[in-house]
Structure 1
Amino acid sequence: MTTTATTDPPAQGAADRRRWLALAVVMTASFMDLVDVTIVNIAMPNIQKDIGASFSILQWITEGYALAFAAGLITGGRLGDIYGRRKVFLLGMTGFTLASVLCGVAADPHLLVASRVLQGATAALMVPQVLAIVHATFPAHERGKVFGMFGAIVGLGAVSGPILGALLTQWNLFGLEWRPIFLVNLPVGIIGLIMGRKYISESRAPQAMKLDLVGVVLATGGLLMLLYPLTQGRENGWPLWGNLCMAGSALVFAAFVAYERHKTRKDGSPLVELSLFKVKSFAAGIGVEIAFGIACGIFFMIWTLYMQIGLGWSPLRAGLTGIPFSIGVSVAAGISVQKLVPRFGRKVLQAGALAMAAGVMLYIWESEHYGTGIHPWQMALPLTVMGIGMGLIVAPLTETVIAKVPREHSGSASGLINTTQQLGNAVGLGLVSVAFFDALDEKAVAQGRAGQAFGDAFRHGMWWVAAVLAVVLALMFALPRKAAPAGPASAEAPAEPAHEPAAAH
């Protein structure tokens, strides 16, 4: 997405104070988005019990957010370029806050899903403006420090989200059970809106690309035709209409590609810059992003269900169990970018995929060996290994993927990478029906052997994760051996920090 900025503002006196307060607002918005995503998974079993949500509804609570977020990211960025980043950011933040309240008061599972979709759509308006506002607010020599702060926010959101979700759920504040995980956004959002109106300066792109609403409709329609029957099919006995719908999605995607080519010839502002896929390393990198998102989408959903429903752990116990994973991600991410990637290039990412796969295999063995008597401390080793592997991948992946992309297309490439991350996550959540629930022995659950049944289904799902990681590793061989240093165009259109895959949008 385009993040071309206006001229650098003066950094003196009141203007200097205003820009740092503006930074606080946009960083708070980023934190809200990250925490709200990671906070949800840990509350899933409580949501299921409280409002009678089916397993497919639980998938849609996260999948609906991810799909709406991914579908609107590029368009959200262009709306900011055209109509003003401040205006669109505040609109998105208002919608996100209201959608959070709707999630918090939802008494019907379908209303909760609809509210989560609205949350994802409004986040797609809010999030793309964040770095564009930073770029327009801070001079070039200060942006490195600011982007470093965003890296810290990503890490903090990944670590604090599950724990905060566990605490808010377990404390049962005012008898609201899981609902405070959403309602907490109301005071934060109101304060952010008041400060944002006062301190964020307006900016637009001098030559913004036009909107491609037809492209958005075709892409979203194709994804819904694929994901809806994939998610609902199991509960409906895998009906014929579902198979036909999934097959028909291929035709819609073909129509999308054809229209994007037409849009390129017509006005040069397609939703997706198809010429990027002529760059072999970029095409392979998009494959890596999607496959990696699928692996993460499957893992984080089945992991939560395994711990809380299968093993009967409390939300707090499950949340604390994930700390070694989050620490592994944060530590490895910092080391990979600063020390390892400049020296070893794509081998670092490949080592990360191998480490994640090794952690998955170790987790499968431990789950079977210890059975329902497994303890959190026994999970620490595989989770740490998986976290280290993920950290070696997520931090340097974007820069590696766009290394050979022409400089004038670096902004479009970054926007597409962020979109495909979320799409992969949504597809992974849809595949949970096949990877996990199809293997779940519901008779055993009804007979009081939920621990054994969920353990078997968890191991089945983890084999899926291992297989997808093998695909990730294979695709990584097509990435550039070394990521080229960021050129001038990269500075003009910096990539957004990757959302933690743990977010499981």
Structure 2
Amino acid sequence: MPENKNPQSDAKTQVVDALPVDALAGPLPAAVDLRRWVALIVLLVATFMDAVDVTVVNIAVPHIQADTGASTAQIQWVVGGYALAFALGLITGGRLGDLYGRKRVFLAGVAGFTLTSLVCGIAGSPEVLLAGRIAQGAAAALMVPQVLSIIHVSFSKEERGKVFGIFGAVSSLGVLAGPLVGALLVEGDVFGLGWRPIFLVNLPLGVAGLIAGAMLIRESRAEHAAGLDVRGMLLSATGLLFLVLPLIQGRELGWPVWTQVMLVASVPVLALFVAYERRVIARGGSPLVVLSLFSRRSFSGGLGVQLLFGLASGVFFLAWALYLQLGLGFSPLKAGLSGLPLSLLLMAGAGVSMQVLVPRFGRRVLQAGALTAAAGMILFAWLTGHYGTDIALWQTMLPLVPMGIGMGLIIAPLTDIVLSEVPHEHAGSASGLNNTTTQLGQAVGTALCSVIFFNHLGGDGNPAVRSAKMPDAFAHTLPYVAAAFLAAFALLYAVPRRAGRRDANAVGGSQAEGQATERPDHDAALVR
């Protein structure tokens, strides 16, 4: 384990920096304990910055489209391209942190995220903006998986539940605060820059994060980190691109033959990826995806729920932002404020779920959350269909109350559930998979907007027709969102039922798959 090269004034801090990661399982000197909690703030700011950028564009879509002349497909790529690049690079980003140092890769990701934010902010055409967004997603893929990995190795097993709860709440708040942040920046027209400050605001945050991160974060890496699986990365990227590209472009292009061929081909390509990973494991190599992790109910079931929530978010937020602004004529600020109940109640639900309800009632809390969120979407569909363009602001806010509570009850405990049985050496890969699943769901959900929302909307060449049909198209979309929540309810039966602790003799890896076997480094609470 390399020593931290940043000079420190406290001798005790220098000593602990040179210790193996496992040494942090015991009590820490007071100065070091304070330092890692301050470093957590840096990590959470980076998490919030990334989470905001997932949805901040949605509220600015009408302004970006009017200013740059972007087509519907280009707008979907600006929204979904970030999530797709993020998803494709997250597993490799986590592996790079394990190999070359999580602090080093985290700082490289922050630097790249800051630079690409500048590119997006000064873009003069939709093509440049799209390229900047994809590059921004790739930079985030280096930055974000290191956050969970650094938390995983810096905090003891007793602390991780609380820290993961904070992480989940901050991440969720960032995603939900994105529309309001975007609305304030767009409507404020800072320095006459219109929508551009939604990206440029990352510049001071990124620079501050680089400085603070270099000073506060302790370097760590996996003692037996696996190498990079380049072929696996290319196969997975190809399969996912074959899936998402035709979903976004197909409707606008009239579904040419190549889009249909790519959709069909995505299935065997992804199957080939899984077969190749099994072959790598059988040969004792280092796969991109550690398949042994999926043998754990907490991991596989939790990832399934993450995927469904990503799908629901991808479909809902883009359609919701366009419905409010182009269908109802809301200003960006009014549209952003209408989502305030969602943000506030999600935070409240997350706090109550993680600290009070899940330890007592277990899986049933998460299932109740899924049903509550689905009920909110059904209510929204009825209100939209009943009132049309005459719907009031408070009526658009009402369905977001159960949706916010429901999502909060689920999202906060999910990260802890997914990573609770992960061996120390696979922390980077597991956190990469966790984030990849959510982002992939959002990318596919955004792509599905073409089929679910835009296809029902029609009237591409007539803005007046599109505006009049917005409420109906949005109401048509909401049952699909509700269906995703209901599917999450069913899938939650796959995760353990009650809060408990692992057996002390349990192992964290599978020798049959060629992975190093070791006891998990923590007994984090599970829903068993």
TM-score, length-normalised on structure 1?
A: 0.89
Equivalent position amino acid for 1:262 in 2:
R
Rounded to whole Å, the distance in 2 between the matches of 1:138 and 1:476 is: 28
Report the equivalent of 2:8.
none
Q: How does 1:64-213 map to 2 (within 5 A)?
A: 64-137=81-154, 146-147=163-164, 149-154=166-171, 156-158=173-175, 160-213=177-230
**Contact 2:224-2:425 at 8 Å conserved across structures:** no
Secondary structure, aligned partner of 1:448: helix
Equivalent position amino acid for 1:7 in 2:
A
Secondary structure, aligned partner of 2:399: helix
**Contact 1:63-1:430 at 8 Å conserved across structures:** yes
2:475 to 459, 462, 478: 459
- The percentage of aligned residue pairs carrying the same residue is 54
Equivalent position amino acid for 1:209 in 2:
A
Q: In 2 relative to 1, CA 197–350 (structure 1 residues): closer, same or farther, beyond 3 Å?
A: closer
Report the equivalent of 1:313.
330
Rounded to whole Å, the distance in 1 between the matches of 2:62 and 2:107 is: 33
1:476 to 492, 514, 518: 492
Q: In 2 relative to 1, CA 58–349 (structure 1 residues): closer, same or farther, beyond 3 Å?
A: same
Q: Kindly state the Cα deviation for residue 141 of structure 1 after the two structures are TM-superposed.
A: 6.0
Q: In 2 relative to 1, CA 487–202 (structure 1 residues): closer, same or farther, beyond 3 Å?
A: farther
Unaligned runs of 5+ in 1: 496-505
Rounded to whole Å, the distance in 2 between the matches of 1:432 and 1:167 is: 25
Q: In 2 relative to 1, CA 148–429 (structure 1 residues): closer, same or farther, beyond 3 Å?
A: closer
Secondary structure, aligned partner of 2:439: helix
Q: Kindly state the Cα deviation for residue 145 of structure 1 after the two structures are TM-superposed.
A: 5.5
Q: Kindly state the Cα deviation for residue 155 of structure 1 after the two structures are TM-superposed.
A: 5.1
Rounded to whole Å, the distance in 2 between the matches of 1:348 and 1:251 is: 37
**Contact 1:61-1:113 at 8 Å conserved across structures:** yes
Q: Kindly state the Cα deviation for residue 215 of structure 1 after the two structures are TM-superposed.
A: 1.1
Q: What's the CA shift string for 1:420-459, capped at 9, x where partnerless?
A: 111111111110000001101317x827344431111111
Report the equivalent of 2:73.
56
Report the equivalent of 1:427.
444
Rounded to whole Å, the distance in 2 between the matches of 1:20 and 1:29 is: 15
Report the equivalent of 2:512.
none
Q: Kindly state the Cα deviation for residue 174 of structure 1 after the two structures are TM-superposed.
A: 1.4
Q: In 2 relative to 1, CA 194–487 (structure 1 residues): closer, same or farther, beyond 3 Å?
A: farther
Q: In 2 relative to 1, CA 206–277 (structure 1 residues): closer, same or farther, beyond 3 Å?
A: closer
Q: How does 1:4-43 map to 2 (within 5 A)?
A: 5=21, 7-8=23-24, 11-12=28-29, 15=32, 18-43=35-60
Report the equivalent of 1:329.
346
**Contact 2:173-2:346 at 8 Å conserved across structures:** no
Equivalent position amino acid for 2:107 in 1:
L
Q: In 2 relative to 1, CA 149–347 (structure 1 residues): closer, same or farther, beyond 3 Å?
A: closer
Rounded to whole Å, the distance in 1 between the matches of 2:442 and 2:243 is: 14
Q: How does 1:152-301 map to 2 (within 5 A)?
A: 152-154=169-171, 156-158=173-175, 160-279=177-296, 282-301=299-318
Report the equivalent of 2:10.
none
1:448 to 464, 473, 493: 464
Equivalent position amino acid for 1:479 in 2:
V
Q: Kindly state the Cα deviation for residue 120 of structure 1 after the two structures are TM-superposed.
A: 0.9
Q: Kindly state the Cα deviation for residue 35 of structure 1 after the two structures are TM-superposed.
A: 2.0
Unaligned runs of 5+ in 2: 1-19, 509-518
Count, aligned residues: 490
Report the equivalent of 2:410.
393
Rounded to whole Å, the distance in 2 between the matches of 1:447 and 1:422 is: 31
Rounded to whole Å, the distance in 1 between the matches of 2:152 and 2:423 is: 17
Rounded to whole Å, the distance in 1 between the matches of 2:263 and 2:79 is: 20
Rounded to whole Å, the distance in 2 between the matches of 1:327 and 1:71 is: 31
Secondary structure, aligned partner of 2:194: coil
Report the equivalent of 2:357.
340
Secondary structure, aligned partner of 1:202: coil
Q: What's the CA shift string for 1:75-111, capped at 9, x where partnerless?
A: 1112112111121111111100000000101111121
Equivalent position amino acid for 1:459 in 2:
A
Equivalent position amino acid for 1:480 in 2:
P
Rounded to whole Å, the distance in 1 between the matches of 2:171 and 2:311 is: 20
Secondary structure, aligned partner of 2:21: coil
1:381 to 390, 394, 398: 398
Rounded to whole Å, the distance in 1 between the matches of 2:325 and 2:523 is: 39
Farther-moved stretch of structure 1 (468-477 vs 124-133): 468-477
Q: Kindly state the Cα deviation for residue 31 of structure 1 after the two structures are TM-superposed.
A: 2.0
Equivalent position amino acid for 1:482 in 2:
R
Q: In 2 relative to 1, CA 281–181 (structure 1 residues): closer, same or farther, beyond 3 Å?
A: closer
Q: In 2 relative to 1, CA 147–283 (structure 1 residues): closer, same or farther, beyond 3 Å?
A: closer
Rounded to whole Å, the distance in 2 between the matches of 1:138 and 1:453 is: 52
Equivalent position amino acid for 2:139 in 1:
T
Secondary structure, aligned partner of 1:233: helix
